[in-house]
């Protein structure tokens, strides 16, 4: 079968269970395509020969009752993988080989999946274009020199280019949903506390969540079902009843109340995004859902709040990189000099900028004016959603204010880069689940996404809405394999 990599995760699982394909055949197909796709720069670390060995071992004694039987999968390089280098896209972790496994990846391997390699990302997940990675830009398979979004840019590129059937990313302010939107793929940011943060390189602990990225909603639901678990190793993991999301998936959303927040109609939003949103509203209406206008009055304050809270937590989390216990070390004349040179040479410009912002807003005399203020506004933002959810079951918005942009287009203006996350950041601040699905193309032929935001722990509902919409939208990604010579 030459078209193995074109199959969805669900198709691959069925073919392996029906013994029409072996894990070795599937793994080799994805390895070969990944080998031919180096120009995308999606991988930081390849583990191809070990993957094929594992696939062979799986085939010798296949356990076909598992949810991901012998399925190869590459994951974002923010997840610690035992004995496999884990860099977080940073020079400071370029030599770091974890001695333990993240809970989320362990859940995946427990269900029979096989690691293909580690995928590129913005340094410490701080970025919206994958351009802050120490390991260079990632190409969007949609078009040459187009960013794949970020921070899970290697992940979105790899799924869209079919280098991996599905993958996992992390989302602190939009890092799964924005790259999914930029590459015509599906990405779910789960409710805070749904997926364990144990073994994920920390960025902003009150916002970080791992989540699935896939080519369709069903695959996304299945992978979410595998990774979501209660974990006592993460003190913010929440013990609630998790669904069999893929089994309970339905396109029947009759009578669901969908909110349309007027504040998401931002100044300067391109007409094609506005049109896409209107189309999305028609799709859910056609599915029998009811549209209700709502207001989220503090939407405009979400980004400024995020750019206090996230850097503050990052400055604290990243204090651990001191050149002593692990990671890169620069020589210094004394201990302090060693610390300062290690962090100056080991961190890239965006990470240093955010550590400095975070340090400033937490510093003596400024804490109340910035950090405490931001925590209070965060409460107002969460209250907006709580109010809205008294009237609606879910909220429909665009995923991003534009389609993917060119590499280098926004690197000199941090604030214009930050504005990319205007529709995704409020969801993280309120701890809610959100999913981005591909919904159309702009005039240039680049994909555009729509976001469905749910109530806390109501992933099933937004997956169902996404599933119903997906059927109506019938989106086809335009990938020409331009990078394969």
Partner 1 sequence: MSIDLKTIKHISKLSRISVDEKKAEKLAGDLNSIFEFIEKLNELKTANVEPLTSVAETTLKLRSDEVKSKNLREQIIKNSPQENEDYFVVPKVIE
Residue placing its CB nearer to partner 1 in the complex, 227 or 357: 357
Structure tokens belonging to residue 423: 């529709």
Query: Which residues face 406 on adjacent strands?
Result: 146
Cα–Cα dist 387/62, whole Å: 50
Catalytic residues: 76, 151, 175
Q: Using CB under 8 A, which of 376, 391, 406, 444 touches partner 1?
A: 376
Q: Does 110 bind partner 1 (CB under 8 A)?
A: no
Measured from the CB of residue 433, what is the shortest distance to partner 1 in angstroms? 12
Q: Does 387 bind partner 1 (CB under 8 A)?
A: no
Structure tokens belonging to residue 397: 């918005």
Q: Using CB under 8 A, which of 243, 375, 461, 477 touches partner 1?
A: 375
Q: Using CB under 8 A, which of 13, 222, 374, 388 touches partner 1?
A: 374
Q: Does 153 bind partner 1 (CB under 8 A)?
A: no
Q: Count other Cβ atoms within 10 Å, centred on residue 291.
A: 15
Cα dihedral across residues 450, 459, 150, 143: positive or negative: negative
Q: Does 329 bind partner 1 (CB under 8 A)?
A: yes
Q: Which of residues 283-312 bind partner 1 (CB under 8 A)?
A: 298, 300-301, 303-305, 307-308
Measured from the CB of residue 23, what is the shortest distance to partner 1 in angstroms? 30
Residue placing its CB nearer to partner 1 in the complex, 135 or 385: 385
Question: Segment near partner 1 (CB under 8 A), from 42-50, 143-151, 270-278, 408-416?
Answer: 408-416
Measured from the CB of residue 135, what is the shortest distance to partner 1 in angstroms? 19
Q: In which order are the strands placed within the sheet that holds 43-46?
A: 43-46, 114-119, 72-76
Q: Using CB under 8 A, which of 143, 263, 322, 442 touches partner 1?
A: 322
Q: Does 336 bind partner 1 (CB under 8 A)?
A: yes
Q: For the purposes of burial, counting CB atoms within 10 Å of the CB of 414, is it exposed (0-12), middle (13-18) or buried (19 or more)?
A: middle
Question: Segment near partner 1 (CB under 8 A), from 120-128, 149-157, 160-168, 429-437?
Answer: 429-437
Tell which residue, 178, 184, 165, has the closest CA to residue 223: 165
Residue pair 164/72 in contact (Cβ under 8 Å)? The answer is: yes
Residue matched to tokens 């340090």: 359
Cα–Cα dist 193/234, whole Å: 9
Q: Using CB under 8 A, which of 22, 243, 359, 461 touches partner 1?
A: 359
Q: Does 418 bind partner 1 (CB under 8 A)?
A: yes
Quote the distance between the C-alpha of residue 140 and its chain's center.
15
């Amino acid at each position: 079968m030459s078209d193995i990599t074109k199959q969805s995760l669900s198709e691959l699982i069925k073919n392996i269970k029906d013994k029409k394909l072996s894990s070795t055949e599937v793994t080799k197909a994805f390895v070969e395509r990944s080998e031919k796709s180096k120009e995308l720069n999606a991988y930081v670390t390849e583990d191809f020969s070990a993957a094929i060995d594992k696939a062979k071992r799986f085939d010798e004694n296949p356990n076909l009752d598992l949810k991901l039987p012998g399925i190869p999968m590459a994951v974002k390089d923010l997840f610690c993988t035992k004995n496999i280098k884990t860099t977080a896209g940073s020079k400071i972790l370029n030599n770091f080989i974890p001695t333990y496994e993240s809970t989320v990846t362990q859940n995946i391997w427990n269900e029979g999946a096989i690691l293909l390699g580690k995928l590129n990302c913005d340094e410490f997940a701080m970025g919206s274009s994958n351009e802050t990675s120490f390991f260079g830009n990632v190409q969007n398979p949609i078009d040459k020199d187009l960013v794949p979004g970020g921070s899970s840019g290697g992940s979105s590129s790899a799924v869209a280019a079919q280098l991996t059937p599905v993958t996992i990313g992390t989302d602190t302010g939009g890092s799964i949903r924005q790259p999914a939107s930029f590459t015509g793929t599906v990405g779910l940011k789960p409710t805070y506390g749904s997926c364990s943060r144990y073994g994920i390189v920390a960025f902003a602990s009150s916002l970080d969540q791992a989540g699935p990225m896939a080519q369709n909603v069903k695959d996304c639901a299945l992978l979410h079902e595998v990774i979501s678990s209660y974990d006592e190793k993460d003190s913010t993991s929440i013990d609630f009843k998790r669904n069999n999301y893929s089994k309970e998936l339905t396109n029947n959303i009759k009578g669901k109340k969908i909110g349309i927040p007027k504040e998401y109609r931002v100044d300067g939003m391109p007409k094609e995004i506005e049109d896409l949103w209107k189309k999305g509203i028609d799709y859910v209406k056609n599915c029998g859902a009811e549209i209700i206008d709502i207001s989220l009055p503090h939407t405009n304050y979400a980004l400024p709040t995020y750019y206090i809270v996230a850097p503050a937590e990052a400055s604290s989390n990243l204090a651990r990189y001191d050149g002593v216990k692990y990671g890169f070390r620069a020589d210094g004349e004394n201990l302090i000099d060693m610390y300062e040179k290690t962090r100056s040479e080991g961190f890239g410009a965006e990470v240093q900028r955010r550590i400095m912002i975070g340090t400033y807003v937490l510093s003596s005399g400024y804490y109340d004016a910035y950090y405490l203020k931001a925590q209070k506004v965060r409460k107002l933002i969460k209250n907006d959603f709580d109010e809205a959810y008294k009237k609606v079951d879910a909220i429909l918005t665009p995923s991003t204010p534009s389609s993917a942009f060119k590499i280098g287009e926004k690197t000199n203006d941090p604030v214009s880069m930050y504005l990319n996350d205007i529709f995704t950041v409020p969801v993280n601040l309120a701890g809610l689940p959100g999913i981005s699905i591909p919904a159309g193309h702009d005039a240039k032929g680049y994909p555009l996404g729509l976001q469905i935001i749910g109530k806390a722990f109501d992933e099933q509902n937004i997956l169902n809405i996404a599933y119903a919409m997906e059927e109506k939208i019938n989106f086809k990604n335009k990938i020409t394999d331009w990078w394969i010579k």
